[in-house]
Structure 1
Amino acid sequence: MAYTGLGLLLILLLSCMLTITAVSVIHNCAGSSNSSRYVANLDLLLSSLSSNATSATGFYNASTGDGSDKVYGLFLCRGDTTTKDCQNCVKNGTKEVKSLCSNTTTAIVWYDDCMIRYSNESFSSILQQDPVFYLYNLNSVTNLDQYNQTVGDLMNRLVKEAAYGSTTPKYYAADEVNYYTGSHNVYGLVQCTPDITPDECNGCLNGSVALDIPHILYPKMGGRVLKPSCNIRYEFDSSFYRQIASDPASPPQASSPLASAPSTNSTSSDGTRIYSTDLMEEAELSNLKDLWTKKELVRSLNARVSIIFNLAHFF
Structure 2
Amino acid sequence: MHARRLAGHALHVSDANTHARPNTILRGEFLIRSEGYKAARIASGVDFGRARGGMSTRDFSIFQSLYPGRAMFVALVVLLLSSPVPSAGDQLFCADANDKYSPNSTYQASLRSLADELTARAMNSHSATGTAGGGSDKVYGAVLCRGDSTGADCSGRLREAFGKTINADSTGAAACALHKDVALYSELYQLRFSDEDFLSAFSNAPEWVDGTNLNLVPAADARQFDELVAKLTRSLAEAAAAQPDRYATADAPWSSRESERTVYGLAQCTQDMPPERCRACLDGVGAEIRRRIGSSKMGGAIHGARCTLRYETGNQFFTETATGKSLYNLEHKKETEIFFK
TM-score, length basis structure 2: 0.62
**What are the equivalent positions in structure 2 for 1:28-39 lying under 5 Å apart?**
28-31=93-96, 32-35=99-102, 36-39=105-108
Cα distance, 1:185 vs. partner? 0.8
Kept in 1: contact 2:144–2:305 (CA 8 A): no
- 1:56 corresponds in structure 2 to 124
Cα distance, 1:84 vs. partner? 2.4
Supply the distance in 1 between the matched residues of 2:137 and 2:252 (Cα, whole angstroms): 48
- 1:139 corresponds in structure 2 to 215
Cα distance, 1:125 vs. partner? 4.2
Amino acid at match of 2:117: S
Describe the SS at the equivalent of 1:34: coil
Kept in 1: contact 2:147–2:268 (CA 8 A): yes
- 2:308 corresponds in structure 1 to 231
Describe the SS at the equivalent of 2:177: coil
Determine if the alignment matches structure 1 residue 46 to structure 2 residue 115.
yes
Which structure has the higher relative contact order (CA within 8 Å, separation 6+)?
Answer: 1
> Taking structure 1 as reference, are residues 177 and 213 closer, same or farther at Cα in structure 2, changes over 3 Å only?
same
Picking from 232, 235, 259, the partner of 1:157 is: 235
Describe the SS at the equivalent of 2:271: coil
- 14-23 or 192-201, larger mean C-alpha shift: 14-23
Supply the distance in 2 between the matched residues of 1:92 and 1:241 (Cα, whole angstroms): 22
Unpaired runs of 5+ residues, structure 1, are 249-315
Amino acid at match of 2:183: I
Picking from 250, 253, 256, the partner of 1:175 is: 250
Supply the distance in 2 between the matched residues of 1:21 and 1:175 (Cα, whole angstroms): 31
Cα distance, 1:189 vs. partner? 0.8
> Taking structure 1 as reference, are residues 129 and 246 closer, same or farther at Cα in structure 2, changes over 3 Å only?
closer
Cα distance, 1:144 vs. partner? 0.6
Kept in 1: contact 2:248–2:324 (CA 8 A): no
Cα distance, 1:13 vs. partner? 4.2
Cα distance, 1:28 vs. partner? 1.3
- 2:13 corresponds in structure 1 to none
Picking from 157, 161, 174, the partner of 1:93 is: 161
Supply the distance in 2 between the matched residues of 1:3 and 1:96 (Cα, whole angstroms): 37
- 1:119 corresponds in structure 2 to 194
Supply the distance in 2 between the matched residues of 1:64 and 1:21 (Cα, whole angstroms): 26
Determine if the alignment matches structure 1 residue 193 to structure 2 residue 270.
yes
> Taking structure 1 as reference, are residues 111 and 34 closer, same or farther at Cα in structure 2, changes over 3 Å only?
same
Kept in 1: contact 2:101–2:180 (CA 8 A): no
Cα distance, 1:25 vs. partner? 2.8
Picking from 34, 40, 65, the partner of 2:133 is: 65
Kept in 1: contact 2:131–2:139 (CA 8 A): yes
- 2:145 corresponds in structure 1 to 77
Supply the distance in 2 between the matched residues of 1:78 and 1:88 (Cα, whole angstroms): 13
- 2:321 corresponds in structure 1 to 244
**What are the equivalent positions in structure 2 for 1:283-294 lying under 5 Å apart?**
none
Amino acid at match of 1:230: C
Describe the SS at the equivalent of 2:284: helix
Supply the distance in 2 between the matched residues of 1:130 and 1:246 (Cα, whole angstroms): 28
Supply the distance in 1 between the matched residues of 2:225 and 2:85 (Cα, whole angstroms): 31
Amino acid at match of 2:95: A
Cα distance, 1:45 vs. partner? 2.1
TM-score, length basis structure 1: 0.67
Kept in 1: contact 2:190–2:303 (CA 8 A): no
Cα distance, 1:40 vs. partner? 2.3
Determine if the alignment matches structure 1 residue 208 to structure 2 residue 285.
yes
Supply the distance in 1 between the matched residues of 2:296 and 2:270 (Cα, whole angstroms): 28
Supply the distance in 2 between the matched residues of 1:160 and 1:130 (Cα, whole angstroms): 21
Describe the SS at the equivalent of 1:72: strand
Supply the distance in 2 between the matched residues of 1:151 and 1:5 (Cα, whole angstroms): 38
> Taking structure 1 as reference, are residues 30 and 244 closer, same or farther at Cα in structure 2, changes over 3 Å only?
same
RMSD: 3.2
- 107-116 or 37-46, larger mean C-alpha shift: 37-46
Describe the SS at the equivalent of 2:297: coil
Unpaired runs of 5+ residues, structure 2, are 1-56, 66-70, 167-173, 326-341
Cα distance, 1:4 vs. partner? 8.2
- 1:256 corresponds in structure 2 to none
Amino acid at match of 1:49: L
Higher fraction of helix: 1
- 1:221 corresponds in structure 2 to 298
Equivalenced residues, count:
243
- 23-32 or 74-83, larger mean C-alpha shift: 23-32
Cα distance, 1:206 vs. partner? 1.1
Deviation digits for residues 37-91 of structure 1 (CA, Å, limit 9, x no counterpart): 21222222223333444x3221122322111011122211111212122122112
Cα distance, 1:231 vs. partner? 1.6
> Taking structure 1 as reference, are residues 147 and 122 closer, same or farther at Cα in structure 2, changes over 3 Å only?
same
Amino acid at match of 1:141: V
Cα distance, 1:222 vs. partner? 0.5
